[in-house]
């Protein structure tokens, strides 16, 4: 749910600093991960954790949007978890195809829900106005799933985590879902039209960005603000600790 197009300050790519001679080597640069997300806001949140990263984005031959299709009868929580796992599988396969040095891969996906109804990215401005009209004056849920894959490395024995397998290089993955609640004031048609005209709802789950102009219409938040933005800091930190990337 990001609207800020500003890219973070970049230094020489970390992947270029690692050895390219043996990409399958099990060693991992401390704190270095691949972020498989195009969201500038997720990059900024990850930087707040003090974790160095490189982007691992889909190529022109990948249809990333197709992964977000909702299955018939699918509930919001299973949906966002399934989509995030699919994005992780695609990212790990991408890592292998490109012959990059092995390092953990982080994926995330956010969806907005009212009951069992899923509000994805609006098709156009008219669809955005429809979504905002349905969310106006009510409380809805924002669910953000985070999935992390790490190469096959020793994991501290104190850690107990439900790891799962991902096809490709040897490794293990773990995920979690953050759920928060957001309440909007009753918005007038003119207010909705003004917000839609700003362009901010485009490409955002639920047709809004909590960190943008939509904040003026929010009367209450319960849960993770960073999760509503697109990357729950606490849950992400827990996953990084479980694979030894944070103390």
- Spatial separation of the C-alpha atoms in residues 84 and 175, rounded to whole Å: 9
- Spatial separation of the C-alpha atoms in residues 182 and 209, rounded to whole Å: 12
Which residue intervals of the chain are DSSP H helices?
Answer: 14-17, 40-48, 76-97, 125-135, 189-197, 225-229, 233-242
Q: Which single residue is written with the structure tokens 């891969």? A: 105
- Spatial separation of the C-alpha atoms in residues 122 and 127, rounded to whole Å: 5
Within the chain, how many helices (H) and strands (E) appear? 7, 7
| Residue of 61, 63, 109, 127 marked catalytic | 109
- Spatial separation of the C-alpha atoms in residues 61 and 49, rounded to whole Å: 32
CB 113, CB 76: distance < 8 Å: yes
For residue 145, how far is the Cα from the chain centroid? 7
Contacts of 137 (CB under 8 A, 6+ apart): 184, 185, 186, 187
**Which residue in 167, 164, 168 sits closest to 147, CA to CA?**
164
Say whether 109 is catalytic: yes
- Spatial separation of the C-alpha atoms in residues 138 and 134, rounded to whole Å: 8
Residues annotated catalytic, as ranges: 109
């Amino acid at each position: 749910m990001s609207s800020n197009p500003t890219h973070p300050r970049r230094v020489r790519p970390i992947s270029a600093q690692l050895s390219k001679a043996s990409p399958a080597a099990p060693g991992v640069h401390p704190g270095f991960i691949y972020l498989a997300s195009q969201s500038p806001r997720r990059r900024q949140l990850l930087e707040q954790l003090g974790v160095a990263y490189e982007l691992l984005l889909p190529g022109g031959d990948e249809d990333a949007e197709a992964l977000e299709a909702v299955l018939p009868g699918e509930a919001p929580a299973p949906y966002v978890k399934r989509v995030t796992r699919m994005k992780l599988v695609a990212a790990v396969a991408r890592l292998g195809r490109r012959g990059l040095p092995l390092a953990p891969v982080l994926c995330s996906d956010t969806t907005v829900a009212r009951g069992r109804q899923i509000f994805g990215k609006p098709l156009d401005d008219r669809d955005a106005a429809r979504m905002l009209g349905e969310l106006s004056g009510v409380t809805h849920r924002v669910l953000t799933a985070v999935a992390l894959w790490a190469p096959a490395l020793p994991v501290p024995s104190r850690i107990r985590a439900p790891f799962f397998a991902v096809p490709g290089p040897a490794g293990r993955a773990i995920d979690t879902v953050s759920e928060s609640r957001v309440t909007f004031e009753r918005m007038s048609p003119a207010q909705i039209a003004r917000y839609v005209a700003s362009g901010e709802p485009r490409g955002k789950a639920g047709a809004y960005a909590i960190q943008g102009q939509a904040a003026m219409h929010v009367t209450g938040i319960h849960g993770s603000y960073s999760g509503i933005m697109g990357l729950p800091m606490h849950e992400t930190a827990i996953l990084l600790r479980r694979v030894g990337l944070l103390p």
